[in-house]
A = this chain, B = another copy of it.
Amino acid sequence: MTFFTHPLDHRTALHLVAVEDAEELAEVLNANRERIGTWEDWAREPQPLERQREFLRGQLQKFVGGTSLPCFIKVDGRLAGSIELRQVSAGDRVSEIGYWVSAEFEGQGLVRRACEAFIAHAFGPLERLRVELQIAADNERSCGLAERLGFTEEGTRRSAMVVGDRRHDLVWYGLLASEWRG
């Protein structure tokens, strides 16, 4: 339904988020509450439609302000996940990537390919010099992905994140423009 996309292959594309996606987003989040809610505190509660609309409006405002690239990953037009390139510090030319993918579309390399597109865009047109990921220390799948993408583990912010009643350590990954294979 979005007019603008960034294609990853003939079936998969990154779509700029749209307020009209709110319904499908709420549906996917509610169906994946337990799964996404393992690593994202906000995802543990039911996601009413109006909150999604407000969230998407906020994301679009950040896009317009130039501080975020908020995308949905869609496969054959269906919402499979979300990925965002956030500006951490404009002057320092550092950006951060955050993402989630629904259970149904896991294991197909969607996030990896989306990250590669973001990294290319960050080190290319956006002229960033450093891209970051923060991943819960016990999220092995995501930590593995960070390493396959070429990120370096740089440290662990102890007890930095809460999900439900558990606090998690966050591993900090960094990738420098000079390290990126292009």
Contacts and interface: CB of A to CB of B under 8 A. Distances in A.
Contact of A129 (B60, B69, B167): B167
Contact of A6 (B4, B91, B172): B4
A16 B41 contact: no
B94 A3 contact: no
A160 interface: yes
Q: Is the interface of A mostly helix, strand, loop or mixed?
A: strand
A174 interface: yes
Contact of A61 (B6, B64, B129): B64
A104 interface: no
7 contacts: A4-B14, A5-B6, A64-B64, A129-B159, A130-B157, A154-B155, A158-B176
